[in-house]
Amino acid sequence: NKVYMFFNGKIYSYQDPSLGAEGNDGSVWGRVGDEIIEEGLSKEVLFANTGTSSATIKELSYGKNFKKFKDVLVSLKTNFGSIDGILIQQGEGNHFEQKGSKHYKKEFLIFQKKIRKYSNAPLYLSQSSICQSESDLELLKKQNQVIVENKMVLRGPNTDSLSKPKYRVPDDCHFSEEGLNSLSKLWVEAIKNSSEK
């Protein structure tokens, strides 16, 4: 389908590994783009990926990580005038460091406030915690509170719902092909639900 990626001021046909993200593995976003088009939500989709491996929400809010994110927001607005949504799939880093959810809510609100200097696009926040671990129920609870208490933070998917071995690769963290296909459907369902409100 007409799914593209934006990187360093240029548009490319979407393919994995997605430009702008860390690592050389596949990601869910190309599939999300296909699903968005197949569901009739848009005729074409463009993503700008700023994925940072294993980062906590605090690590995404400062220094080079936030600068990278901010620069992409500014470039998107300069080139296209607006941004339809910011999709955030994050949380595993907070669990992995055994910091759990102690400061998650406060740190996410700092991240959100900084984003608002550059874009008023709705944020879609996933509930995510599994990476070589059981679900962190307290972290999921905090992520849910952020969604419920903030009008401009919309509900993304609960990625922990895809915890069966068939949805994950052997590292019990990243998603298998079946997992990515299922996750893309969850993302588009979340986007559809928010647009219907």
Looking only at the bridges linking them, the beta strands covering 45-47 and 10-13 are: unpaired
Q: What is the pLDDT of residue 40?
A: 95
| pLDDT higher than 90, residue 147 | yes
Average pLDDT over residues 130-139: 90
**150: pLDDT confidence band, cut at 50, 70 and 90?**
very high
DSSP code of residue 122: P
**73: pLDDT confidence band, cut at 50, 70 and 90?**
very high
| pLDDT higher than 90, residue 197 | no
User: pLDDT higher for 98 or 172?
Assistant: 172
Q: What is the pLDDT of residue 97?
A: 62
- Kindly report the number of other CB atoms within 10 A of residue 79's CB atom: 13
Average pLDDT over residues 173-193: 96
Rounded CA separation 55/89 (Å):
11
Q: Could you tell me what percent of the chain has a pLDDT over 70? A: 96
The tokens for 107 are: 């740190």
| pLDDT higher than 60, residue 99 | no
**119: pLDDT confidence band, cut at 50, 70 and 90?**
very high
**140: pLDDT confidence band, cut at 50, 70 and 90?**
very high
- Kindly report the number of other CB atoms within 10 A of residue 180's CB atom: 21
| pLDDT higher than 90, residue 133 | no
Q: What is the pLDDT of residue 98?
A: 59
